[in-house]
Structure 1
């Protein structure tokens, strides 16, 4: 009568298995000992973990997804990690239609929607409603866009003087006359400063400037160069021209109505 094999024990190969293995020139399989089982499980776990994203790269990717950009001035280690693993990060972001752009000179890395994003393939009537699930288009008023253009010009002028990558700081008072040139004077210094302060705060939430410090200065972020690119500047210029022509046409109509 054949004896039942106790559970939990490896079954020894019988005489027929040994004879077949010897005839084929193959050594019969040997059962694993209790000491070898933990080592085998550890090797299998190590092989599985080797295919996972490294923890530091995962941390950098999570930071980018949470904030949208990173500067080497504030997070030097994370920035260096992102700059060194751009290809890997792009592969991880590919299902999201996102990619990483790195400005090595200015020490800036940020997320951007890949060209030809499917969600952007809409009719002109639907473009105002376009959004990416993780990267929404930033909506700025005309006054905010105008101040943004003034800050960008200031940023590039300072870079030409001090070199690309230099920290650009300006005083709030120096921006007041520039903004007044385009928006006109309210007749109240307090109202004009309040208007400028509110506009700067709105731009700060978009990562374009820092908070006003104790010296009444702000730092212009390098992200401003990439957000306000030549295409966006051209759109702003056309908008300003249209408003100027509209104002001129209304003025002409008013004069005509008052003519005897």
Structure 2
């Protein structure tokens, strides 16, 4: 008896069995979605921040806004490195800091605050100039408000240094000493280059560079040394 026409149609529509086909069986196991990539602008902002250690809104407003808006996400990315970003919205400043829970290991504690952050070793003269510049910066902020650029004439710093360091007897040597100190501090992101009008801009990072109590103690100690020297020559 010939096969029923309806059976023939059913056989033609049925899928081929695995035994009858050499084609590989497709893997139907669901694959997890890939983790979302870090947005390009956020990646660029974080790279710039790690490269320079700080980022100012006045110089790179788009990158600063990205960091300010995604601070929590950036800190998550930095957490394995024991680093964090701190944002000073009032002064338009973001900078990298060592995480509070970081614990140095072994002898590294003497030379490193963190494997990726070199401890800033400043001489007495450099620390003194930072203290003077910080005082000037905060005083100008009180007078003009937060976020206002603070500029100083280089010459105005010479008498202040002389109070604590004494006079060398040579205006040229004293100016050279001051310019060398400013050039060193520029590398720490607290002052700009000397411009054509012989002025510098004090950058807002100076507020966060050093502990104010330590700076005040430094100034007090220098005053004591100066007073003792005056009494000895009297």
Structure 2 CA distance for partners of 1:109 and 1:189, relative to 1, 3 Å: same
Structure 2 equivalent of residue 108 of structure 1:
93
Structure 2 CA distance for partners of 1:94 and 1:173, relative to 1, 3 Å: same
Give 1:123-162 correspondences, 5 Å limit.
Answer: 127-162=109-144
Structure 2 CA distance for partners of 1:231 and 1:85, relative to 1, 3 Å: same
1:34-79 deviation line (CA, Å, top 9, x unaligned): xxxxxxxxx969x3152x3222222211111111000000000000
Q: Distance in 2 between matches of 1:185 and 1:77?
A: 46
Please, which runs of 5 or more residues in structure 1 have no aligned partner?
12-30, 33-42, 253-260
TM-score, normalised via structure 2 length: 0.81
TM-score, normalised via structure 1 length: 0.73
1:191-229 deviation line (CA, Å, top 9, x unaligned): 111111111101111111000001110000000001123
> Contact (CA 8 Å) 1:152, 1:228: kept in 2 or not?
no
Give secondary structure in 1 for the equivalent of 2:34: helix
Give 1:232-247 correspondences, 5 Å limit.
Answer: 232-234=214-216, 236-237=218-219, 240=222
> Contact (CA 8 Å) 2:111, 2:119: kept in 1 or not?
no
**Would you say how many aligned residue pairs link Structure 1 and Structure 2?**
217
> Contact (CA 8 Å) 2:131, 2:219: kept in 1 or not?
no
Larger RCO (CA within 8 A; separation ≥ 6): 2
2:65 to 73, 76, 80: 80
2:53 to 68, 80, 87: 68
Give secondary structure in 2 for the equivalent of 1:131: strand
Structure 2 equivalent of residue 55 of structure 1:
40
Structure 1 equivalent of residue 21 of structure 2:
5
Structure 2 CA distance for partners of 1:193 and 1:237, relative to 1, 3 Å: closer
Structure 2 equivalent of residue 224 of structure 1:
206
Structure 2 CA distance for partners of 1:161 and 1:89, relative to 1, 3 Å: same
User: Which structure shows the higher helix fraction?
Assistant: 1
Structure 2 equivalent of residue 163 of structure 1:
145
Q: Distance in 2 between matches of 1:226 and 1:81?
A: 21
2:77 to 92, 109, 112: 92
Please, which runs of 5 or more residues in structure 2 have no aligned partner?
1-17
- When the two chains are superposed, the root-mean-square deviation of aligned CA atoms in Å is 3.1
Deviation at residue 152 of structure 1 after TM alignment: 0.6
Structure 2 CA distance for partners of 1:178 and 1:70, relative to 1, 3 Å: same
Structure 2 CA distance for partners of 1:139 and 1:91, relative to 1, 3 Å: same
